[in-house]
Structure 1
């Protein structure tokens, strides 16, 4: 299992990358995809949707279970990764390359409250 140190994390197993333009790219962690097993379906939020931090906004299904994916911060969805929807197994192949959606955060500083890599690893034991 890998936990890149340049990302932020949530206790609900989303990773967050801050882009140069201030937008956030979000996916599920390597730990999450390992726990889920073979991912077979993704339902992602549509661009333009305004979300609150902690809101359930997407679904990931595997052969084992279905799980909600939560917004790590409040903001507006600006993109969803159709390639991941079309090939959900890409999440298993590389959880950090297979981003799921992008958010324009309502407050850029909200990212600072998320877990760093060490904090996430401590949270998952």
Structure 2
């Protein structure tokens, strides 16, 4: 079991620090304690997937996760998800292959202008893929 603190924010409205706890058995369980949302639990094969499920829960209420896992210019590789448990993510640069120099921890802090919704992140990833051709 590992406990971390992470910030969620609603642009221009509110910011809150949440306690998150990761446990690993056959899968990853993410337990979030939030003043606004209460206690929530998400299960996935990896950290990134569990954080993505958390993001999908808070986004309809206008909240974003302020960490690398939610950056519009970041995405994990399949190998990072399978072998690394989704704890690392690549910061992507248009026209350049992802490299170890761009590898960061999913939970490290990011600013509100760096992060986006799950959909914005997916679009950013697809645009990056197209930029490699």
TM-score w.r.t. length of structure 2: 0.25
| Structure ID, larger Rg | 2
Q: Which has the higher helix share?
A: 2
TM-score w.r.t. length of structure 1: 0.26
Q: Which has the higher contact order (CA 8 A, sep 6+)?
A: 1
